[in-house]
Amino acid sequence: MASHQVLAGFHAVVARLRHAPATIKEIYIEASRRDKRMQSFIDQVQAAKIKLVSVPAERLDGLAKGTRHQGVVALAEDNPLAVDVDEVLDILEDRGETPLFLVLDGVTDPHNLGACLRTADAAGVHAVIAPKDRAVGLNATVQRVACGGAETVPYLMVTNLARTLRQLKDRDIWVVGTDDQASSNLYAVDARRPMAWVMGAEGEGMRRLTRETCDELVTIPMAGSVESLNVSVASAVCLYETVRQRTA
């Protein structure tokens, strides 16, 4: 197969089986593993009529390329959930839903991206947006850490992040960035309106142009000695403040 995604681990493969089984070309399982979890997985694959191949653990190690696979690896076609922000917004408009986006400026660690996608799924985020030149793609590690989040939340990699933020603002999305130097904190934000939370990379934070494009900058209150939170934790704090306000 010329081009494919590698999905490693039970969560990543089962999520794809549940949401887009037609994109899976074949699944490899560890020949020596036949415990209850694996047998249940095999039953799912056979019910979906997908090609299943038993191979030695060494073959799986090679396919997964360093990602922990738990004895399960799938080769699948890409599964784009949305093409761009306008498509997402048009769908939300038709549904009458209030948009919620998560923007990641400079998150290049696959474990962090996977955790952000998992949190985004749990908090009801409609899309995660990142710049192509400063982001990691949906590789096997991201898919595994996301625990299915990558199958349900569109991950849009854009050429020009500032332009995309302006595009959101043109469609009445309030863009809020997190910044250690901001004068107000996140609890002052009215998160009931259509909005996008913007998170910068740990250490560097947001780039200057990204910061300047935001409608508002807020800080996450820090009472202890550490200077900042992990980006996935910071995302969770902000997203769940939105959830709290919208469900209060």
Angle at CA of residue 217, ends 216 and 221, nearest 5° = 135
Instruction: Report the binding-site residues for S-adenosyl-L-methionine.
Output: 200, 220, 229
CB 209 within 8 A of CB 177: no
Radius of gyration of the chain (CA): 19
> Which residues is 55 bridged to in the sheet?
30
CB 212 within 8 A of CB 166: no
- 78 contact partners, CB below 8 Å, separation of at least 6: 3, 5, 23
Q: Kindly report the number of other CB atoms within 10 A of residue 93's CB atom.
A: 11
Instruction: Report the binding-site residues.
Output: 200, 220, 229
